[in-house]
Amino acid sequence: MRWSSSYIPTLKEAPSEAEVISHKLLLRAGMIRKLTSGVYSWLPFGLRALNKAANIVRKEMNAAGAQEILMPSVQPADLWEESGRWQKYGKELLRFKDRHDRDYCLGPTHEEVITDLLRNEVNSYRQLPINLYQIQTKFRDEIRPRFGLMRGREFLMKDGYSFDRNDEGADKSYWAMHKAYSNVFTNMALNFRPVEADSGSIGGNFSHEFMVLAETGEDTIAACTNWPQCTFAANVERCAINAPTHKDNSECPAMELVETPNKHTIEEVAEFLNVAPQKILKTLLFVADGKPVAALLRGDRELNLIKLTNLLHADEIEFATPEQVMQYTNAPVGFAGPHSLIGVETIIADHELLESNDWIAGANKNDMHVRHLSLHRDCKITQFADIRNAQEGDICPRCGNALEFKKGIEVGHVFKLGTKYSEAMHAVYVDENGKENTIIMGCYGIGVSRVVAACIEQNNDENGILFPPPLAPYEVIIINLDPKNQAVNEKCEELYTYCQEKNIDVLYDDREERPGVKFKDADLIGIPLQIIIGGKSLDKGVIEYKIRKLSEKKQIDAENSKSEFDKIYQEMLNAWK
């Protein structure tokens, strides 16, 4: 493509509404324009990146045996009534009526539509398994659309659905998609991690989020430093922590009261008694499904409410009110300890607490704490379990190497649905024995438009985008510094044609602009390989080039420019390996 006849409206400054780097660069590089809140048009240069992302997804889905379909974006309410989500989905679902006063919505996802499709098509076990996907525009009326493409209201998603006879088949489908997703993001040259997204408390892991690592990500993940030998990574809120290998079985001196006037917090008590916070027990009181519960942690740790809730199988869990604290401890908030609680039968201790048998804790008396509290001798602990948040310094629960904390952007999600929709919507098949069974489903999403934003969020510098070659709208840009110079034009045309012959996506900057403008634009739009052809250097028999990711300019021989080009094109690809 010649820049002079294409439409790439670059901007010197990003509009002030753009907060994050990808949003700024998408606007400045002339890739997208805003229509209304959370809704964007794709311009030619942007659309090329979007299509590249979609095609990489398509290729891997097809290779994994999934087949592409295209479902409508308008969906009738009846199907959502059947699944129970018409009520549950809330305001993210954009609802409207047609002229006959019938209810519809714009599809935020397609479980209902695909389940309806399949239940009308499939009746025999012989037709299963089936795996179908589409790449289609979704609408979610997000409460706070933000960060441009990252959280739009309208966005492009690949959503896929698998249908299997039994759990074994469904697991196979799940892991095939997991593998396909890893291939997708590897082939996009993105730095990513598949992250365990369920609590792990109910059997195997059947939900993974795929995260592109970027400092600006909204999610924090704990990832094993031994990647890729160990692939463990989990959302921090979901990261399991193993029981300690060392347990303290030593004798603890007799428990004694100490005065701690007005010292309520762990920090205040630690300072007052001149001990480290990790020597103090944190006793948190809750009411879970109407019953009081105490949770014990080391003073410097944070409780993980999801872990505690799962452990208790609780439907509802709330912090005890100051009145309830008074009732359970006979003291105001700040002096609770696990040894003489009133009417609290469930006491869950974080298993890390097994590492010591000598604690400082609240005394259940106003302005008092106790020293030398032994959890084994002085308390009735219901259970030692993993109930805290992972922190920097923790070790990988799978391999024991150090964990590191990274920020990530969720670009994909694979999920074993089981029979949630097939049961509600009666999607069944008849097996070999003539018996009716419910189909087991899985669903698999990739935010295709979010991938483009995440890619830029991960790959940029102060001058603009650094597109990895697989997602770059063009892989090569030929910059003509002297459009009035015959020899320069000829050289540019020669290499431009050569790239086209080799099926390399090439943009030829043939505009009548100053070199400075062209250099700035080329850096901004981030095409991985810049070929710079000017009169002065050509007179010396050389052509300059720059691999955008490596920044420094180098030279090749103008005489053998085609074979030299092959080499630097390879050099550019290698820079991304």
Distance from the Cα of residue 371 to its chain's centroid: 44
Smallest gap from residue 109 Cβ to ligand ATP (A): 6
84 Rama class: left (phi>0) / alpha (psi -120 to 50) / beta: left
Output 142 or 358, the one with its CB closest to ligand ATP: 142
Sign of torsion over alpha carbons 548, 549, 555, 557: negative
Output 181 or 519, the one with its CB closest to ligand ATP: 181
Smallest gap from residue 443 Cβ to ligand ATP (A): 8
Q: What are phi and psi of 159, to 5 degrees?
A: -120, 130
Output 150 or 533, the one with its CB closest to ligand ATP: 150
C-alpha dist (Å) from residue 547 to 349, 489, 562? 56, 22, 17
Taking each continuous run of H as one helix and of E as one strand, the counts in the chain are 16, 31
Smallest gap from residue 155 Cβ to ligand ATP (A): 4
Nearest Cα to Cα of residue 209 among 177, 241, 170, 248: 177
**3-state secondary structure (DSSP) of residue 145:** coil
Output 144 or 246, the one with its CB closest to ligand ATP: 144
Output 132 or 294, the one with its CB closest to ligand ATP: 132
Smallest gap from residue 140 Cβ to ligand ATP (A): 5
Smallest gap from residue 429 Cβ to ligand ATP (A): 26
DSSP 224-252: ETTTTTS--EEEGGG---PPPS-------
Smallest gap from residue 374 Cβ to ligand ATP (A): 44
Cα three-residue angle 545-55-492, rounded to 5 degrees: 25
Smallest gap from residue 46 Cβ to ligand ATP (A): 15
Output 445 or 469, the one with its CB closest to ligand ATP: 445
Output 37 or 383, the one with its CB closest to ligand ATP: 37
Helix pair 167-187, 44-63: axis angle to 10 deg: 140
Which residues pair with residue 257 across a beta bridge?
370
Output 238 or 301, the one with its CB closest to ligand ATP: 238
Output 200 or 445, the one with its CB closest to ligand ATP: 445
Cis? peptide before 129, omega within 30° of 0: yes
C-alpha dist (Å) from residue 101 to 76, 87, 222, 435? 12, 18, 50, 41
Smallest gap from residue 453 Cβ to ligand ATP (A): 8
Nearest Cα to Cα of residue 215 among 576, 391, 457, 524: 457
452 membership: H or E segment, kind and range: helix 448-458
Nearest Cα to Cα of residue 157 among 245, 280, 57: 57
What's the rounded Cα separation, in Å, for the pair 133 and 58?
9
H runs (alpha helix) in 301-407: 305-312, 322-329, 375-378
Expressed in angstroms, the distance from the first to the final Cα of the chain is 27
Q: Which residues neighbour 338 within 8 Å (Cβ) at sequence distance 6 or greater?
A: 281, 283, 294, 296, 347, 349, 361, 373, 375, 378, 379, 381
Q: Which residues neighbour 110 within 8 Å (Cβ) at sequence distance 6 or greater?
A: 71, 75, 134, 136, 159, 161
Smallest gap from residue 312 Cβ to ligand ATP (A): 25
Smallest gap from residue 185 Cβ to ligand ATP (A): 11
Smallest gap from residue 151 Cβ to ligand ATP (A): 4
3 state SS for 268-325: HHHHHHCCCHHHEEEEEEEEECCEEEEEEEECCCCECHHHHHHHHCCCCEEECCHHHH
Give the interface with ligand ATP as residue ranges (CB under 6 A): 109, 140, 142, 151-152, 155, 157, 410-413, 445, 447, 449-450
Output 149 or 370, the one with its CB closest to ligand ATP: 149
**Number of other CB atoms surrounding residue 394 within 10 Å:** 18
Which residue, judged by CB position, is nearest to ligand ATP in the bound state? Answer: 447
Smallest gap from residue 428 Cβ to ligand ATP (A): 26
Output 388 or 450, the one with its CB closest to ligand ATP: 450
Smallest gap from residue 168 Cβ to ligand ATP (A): 25
Output 85 or 450, the one with its CB closest to ligand ATP: 450
Output 154 or 564, the one with its CB closest to ligand ATP: 154
